[in-house]
Amino acid sequence: MSDKAVAKPVGGGFLLSGGQTADVFAPEQFTEEQLSFSETAVEFMEKEVLPLTEKMEDHDRKIETNVKLMKKAGEIGLLMIEIPEEYGGLGMDLSTSLKVSEAMARSGSFAATMLAHSGIGTLPIVYFGNEAQKKKYLPKLATGEMIAAYGLTETGYGSDALGAKTKAVLSPDKKYYVLNGEKQFITNSGFADLFIIYAKVDGEKFTAFIVERKSDGLSTAKEENKMGIKGSSTRSVIMNDVKVPVENVLGEIGKGHQSALGVLDIGRLKLGMASVGGSKEIIKYAVQYANQRMQFGQPISSFGMIRRKFADMMMKVYATESMSYRTSGMIDKAIHALDRNAPDFSKKAAKIFEDYDIEASIMKVYGSEVLGFVVDEAVQSYGGYGYIEDYPVARAYRDARINRIFEGTNEINRLLIPATILKRSMKGELDFMGRLNDILAEIKTDKVNKTPAPGLLGIESLAAETAKKITVYAAGIVVQKYMASLTDKAFNFGRGEYLFEQLANMMMETYAIDSTILRTLKLKDLKGESAIAMPLMLTRAFVYETLNKVTLIARHVLGDAAEDHADEFATYEKALSKLTFTYGLDLSGTKEKIAARIVEKEGYVL
């Protein structure tokens, strides 16, 4: 058997062409079995984890509590989802794992612990380990007998991770490497049994190692006193002449970046989904509270400004969820087409994750910022009580903050989004320039389509097409204008970042618009139009508001590119106005209908 022929996966392709509902995976398509997995996770969280929140955050009992919970999670199979069956796992796909991540996210602390173990701690071995390493470690990681951690960051090297200073030197008898250095902010470091450590062989070749905790010379510093996720363990890992057997080199010498960055893509997708899970939980709390809290003789959930918050929360979470599962669906489909028994299967699978690194970065940034928005507005809905630690939203607010920082800061991920699209275009993998030329021709000949197609969400589909065109156009102007400077470090780190940040925002919002429409149309196919009133309202309100946002960012980018030359800006603005598609919507009225349902159902209910 060999790999099945399917269309080559194109990460970032959403920007250039229209999506098909047939290709889109929606969470409503989960099987009974996948939903049962998620139910077990929900039950585990409710019965085992949430009652121990206080204990988990207690400095002295943190480690034993986490270890106990991880063993229990391992016993019921929550840690083995993506580990292949031949190594004691379930060999399930990414979408299944995301669904379970969503459930675990009800505790920010435990989600961090579990995702660090089963994600970035375990997956480097799943995708980059050799047979012996997989056989030795995966069965134990699957059951929680061993807990894993991932050590990349150093004091002076956070976002600039590949600059790491930790050194590895081959021993004279060539039997082991001697590691020296310190890794910082390592999740699970208080109790992990093994660490994936990145170090430079001979100070040059960036390489991954599997390092066991019991190794002589390995120690951890004291627990960090964090702002949030206080129930997770975060310490520095110090290596002082730690001898690591040569058979524990993970992947090839000098190719550590493959696993270091490869698993981060998966980590980022999971983080996006965990943000959705956390958001749903907080929406529930906020609405329940607002339904009980009386002011002026009526519940505050009856006031427009509070209701608007709930509608916004719901719209953003619906969009994030749609993007997440669309992405995981594309990845799963591509991996399903591979020959599982081929010796290079895991390498090819890892390559597919890499193909979708643009979407992974989008999910990380978008998810963490939506969660940030939701917890912030939830605190506001609670009023003064939101600021008191006895109520659940204060903790959620603190816990959420780290999501915009870890697994690559949102700044690094924002840079990656347009940079990768441009890189792929240069390599000929994405036909960005071709698309740009088509759009420029449309502008020139005044042939921009502004007639919505008939059918459900016709206007919104045209809005999605418009968002894509505007984004490609603005990015195209930036590329044309600054082509020569794009290789200049000073430009890239300075003015370039101002521009790239805005382009990244446009690209993310465009992906959100596109994915939301596709999911709702998919739901129509699955359930019929009469059953999707809520998704339709969410889509209409979200797309309308977001298209306006994208158009405004485009105008700002073009203003920047014109550099205060009025006539140049006039040219750009004229082109933009030709591309722009505007329509009216009773946005507040739509949000009110959304809010009415949330207030009645007390939570994220479609």
Partner 1 sequence: MKILVTIKRVSDPEAKLKIRPDGTGIQTEGVKFVVNPFDEIAVEEALRIKEKHTGEVVVVSIGDKVVTEQIRAALAMGVDRGIFVNYTGSYDSYDVAGILAKVVEQEQPDIIILGKQAVDDDMGQAGFMLAEMLGYPQAAFASKVEISDDKKTAKVTREIDGGLETKEVGLPCIITADLRLNTPRYASLPNIMKAKQKPVKEVTVDALGAVVKPHVTIKKLTEPPKRKGGVKVESVQDLVGKLKNEAKVL
Quote the least distance from Cβ 289 to partner 1, whole Å.
Answer: 16
Q: Which of 15, 70, 78, 314 forms a contact with partner 1 (CB under 8 A)?
A: 78
114 part of the interface to partner 1, by CB under 8 A? no
567 part of the interface to partner 1, by CB under 8 A? no
- ∠ CA 178-181-187, nearest 5°, is 115
76 part of the interface to partner 1, by CB under 8 A? yes
Question: Judging by beta carbons within 10 Å of its beta carbon (0-12, 13-18, 19+), is residue 303 exposed, middle or buried?
Answer: middle
Q: Which helix (H) or strand (E) holds 168?
A: strand 167-170
221 part of the interface to partner 1, by CB under 8 A? no
The secondary structure of residue 160, as a DSSP letter, is S
Q: Which of 23, 39, 344, 529 forms a contact with partner 1 (CB under 8 A)?
A: 39
Quote the least distance from Cβ 189 to partner 1, whole Å.
Answer: 27
Output 48 or 376, the one with its CB closest to partner 1: 48
Quote the least distance from Cβ 392 to partner 1, whole Å.
Answer: 18
Q: Which of 80, 315, 543, 579 forms a contact with partner 1 (CB under 8 A)?
A: 80
Output 17 or 36, the one with its CB closest to partner 1: 36
Output 44 or 544, the one with its CB closest to partner 1: 44
Handedness of CA 336, 104, 43, 381 (dihedral sign): negative
Task: Round to whole Å and give the CA distance between 71 and 79.
Answer: 9
Which tokens is 76 given? Answer: 């019921």
Q: Which of 102, 154, 359, 407 is catalytic?
A: 407
Q: Where are the alpha helices (DSSP H) in 25-119?
A: 32-44, 53-57, 62-75, 94-104, 108-115
| Nearest partner of 111 among 89, 81, 84, 78, judged by Cα | 78
Quote the least distance from Cβ 591 to partner 1, whole Å.
Answer: 22
- ∠ CA 304-308-309, nearest 5°, is 125
Which tokens is 300 given? Answer: 């505050």
Tokens 């994915």 locate to 515
Output 33 or 60, the one with its CB closest to partner 1: 33
Which tokens is 117 given? Answer: 């173990």
533 part of the interface to partner 1, by CB under 8 A? no
150 and 121 Cβ atoms separated by less than 8 Å: yes
Output 90 or 587, the one with its CB closest to partner 1: 90
Quote the least distance from Cβ 202 to partner 1, whole Å.
Answer: 43
Task: Round to whole Å and give the CA distance between 544 and 548.
Answer: 7
Quote the least distance from Cβ 316 to partner 1, whole Å.
Answer: 23
- Among 39-47, 247-255, 409-417, 582-590, which window interacts with partner 1 (CB under 8 A)? 39-47
77 part of the interface to partner 1, by CB under 8 A? yes
33 part of the interface to partner 1, by CB under 8 A? yes
Quote the least distance from Cβ 118 to partner 1, whole Å.
Answer: 12
- Among 31-39, 302-310, 360-368, 404-412, which window interacts with partner 1 (CB under 8 A)? 31-39
Task: Identify residue 52 by its one-letter amino acid code.
Answer: L
Quote the least distance from Cβ 299 to partner 1, whole Å.
Answer: 16
241 part of the interface to partner 1, by CB under 8 A? no
- Among 30-38, 426-434, 465-473, 475-483, which window interacts with partner 1 (CB under 8 A)? 30-38
The 3 state secondary structure assigned to 388-432 is CCCCHHHHHHHHHHHHHCCCCCHHHHHHHHHHHHHHHHHHCCCCH
606 part of the interface to partner 1, by CB under 8 A? no
Quote the least distance from Cβ 113 to partner 1, whole Å.
Answer: 18
36 part of the interface to partner 1, by CB under 8 A? yes
75 part of the interface to partner 1, by CB under 8 A? yes
Output 80 or 208, the one with its CB closest to partner 1: 80
- Among 34-42, 161-169, 257-265, 309-317, which window interacts with partner 1 (CB under 8 A)? 34-42
| End-to-end Cα distance, the chain | 42
Instruction: Read off φ and ψ for residue 578, nearest 5 degrees.
Output: -70, -35
Half-sphere exposure of 604 (CA within 13 A, CB side): 20
What separation in angstroms does the CA of 91 have from each of 77, 106, 151, 194? 12, 24, 25, 22
Helix axes 304-336, 495-527, angle to 10 degrees: 80
Identify the bridge partners of residue 531 per DSSP, sorted by sequence position.
Answer: none
Whether 407 is catalytic: yes
37 part of the interface to partner 1, by CB under 8 A? yes
Output 99 or 316, the one with its CB closest to partner 1: 99
β pairing state of 205-212 and 249-250? antiparallel
596 part of the interface to partner 1, by CB under 8 A? no
Q: Which of 49, 81, 396, 562 forms a contact with partner 1 (CB under 8 A)?
A: 81
- Among 18-26, 73-81, 156-164, 494-502, which window interacts with partner 1 (CB under 8 A)? 73-81
426 part of the interface to partner 1, by CB under 8 A? no
600 part of the interface to partner 1, by CB under 8 A? no
335 and 352 Cβ atoms separated by less than 8 Å: yes
Quote the least distance from Cβ 33 to partner 1, whole Å.
Answer: 6
Q: Which of 90, 261, 433, 459 forms a contact with partner 1 (CB under 8 A)?
A: 90
45 part of the interface to partner 1, by CB under 8 A? no
Restricted to residues 488-517, the positions that interact with partner 1 (CB under 8 A) are none
Q: Which helix (H) or strand (E) holds 323?
A: helix 304-336
Task: Round to whole Å and give the CA distance between 127 and 345.
Answer: 9
β pairing state of 148-151 and 194-201? parallel
Which residues make Cβ contacts (< 8 Å) with residue 586, sequence separation at least 6? none
Helix axes 304-336, 256-292, angle to 10 degrees: 150
Contacts with partner 1 by CB under 8 A lie at 32-33, 36-37, 39-40, 43-44, 75-78, 80-81, 90, 601, 605
Residue positions annotated with a catalytic role: 407
